[in-house]
Amino acid sequence: MNIFRLVGDLSHLLAIFVLLLKIWKSRSCAGVSGKSQILFALVFITRYLDLFTNFISVYNSLMKVIFIASTVATVYLMYIKFKATYDSNHDTFRIEFLVVPVGGLAFLVNHDFTPLEILWTFSIYLESVAILPQLFMISKTGEAETITSHYLFALGSYRALYLLNWIYRYYFEGYFDLIAVVAGCVQTILYCDFFYLYITKVMWGKKLSLPA
Amino acid sequence: QMSSGQKDEL
């Protein structure tokens, strides 16, 4: 464990709970893409199948349980409890256009052709594009609530911190995973446009609104 | 990856 990965994991945890609290407190999921949340739930479920078979540490197991539970809870709040506030008219990204190609790629490009490894690879590839429905929804509505932009900033920062973690681990531990690094770069690059808007607008107390 | 196959990251 290193500081980049620890802060990255905490940033990820913060993002998930900021979103969960926003929906719970405001009793509304306006402006939030349910499709992205479904993809994130799929990412965690396919990645953490080794939860009971491969014990790493209390921290590792605890975080896996929290990530799965909080994301499933978010999907539940969006599609069941506060379904009436779900903005399906703007959450129209065709996620099958993400899941199918990512699934095919996981079969073709992986470290080891075994079910658990292919599912892990699928999860890594899917996570790199899972935010697209959310970014697409913001581009359609033309703006995002401030709390939603904080959610996105924390979520985008987590994988950017993981990139620093992989640089650290490469030089100090000789650890390198090309699949995770490439997917992590794609994932972080997708946030660049948002990071620019967040830093130039939200940081100065303005609302995040995309140029019309 | 160059390290053991152990997946120790979240």
Q: Which one of B2, B5, B10 has the shortest CB-CB distance to A64?
A: B10
Which of A10, A112, A175, A176 is best to mutate for the B interface (most B CBs within 10 A)?
A: A175
The Cα A172–Cα A169 span in angstroms is: 5
Q: How many Cβ atoms sit within 10 Å of the Cβ of residue A33?
A: 28
- For chain B positions 1-10, those within 8 Å of chain A (CB to CB) are 1-3, 5-10
Nearest CA in chain A to B9: A60
Give residue-wise pLDDT tens across range A140-165: 999 999 999 999 999 999 999 999 99
Encode A168-211 in three state secondary structure.
Answer: HHHHHHCCCCHHHHHHHHHHHHHHHHHHHHHHHCHHHCCCEECC
Q: Which pLDDT score, from 0 to 100, does residue A202 have?
A: 87
The tens digit of pLDDT for each residue in A74-107 reads 999 999 999 999 999 999 999 999 999 999 999 9
* pLDDT tens-digit map of A184-201: 999 999 999 999 999 999
Nearest to B8 among A56, A112, A174 (CB): A56
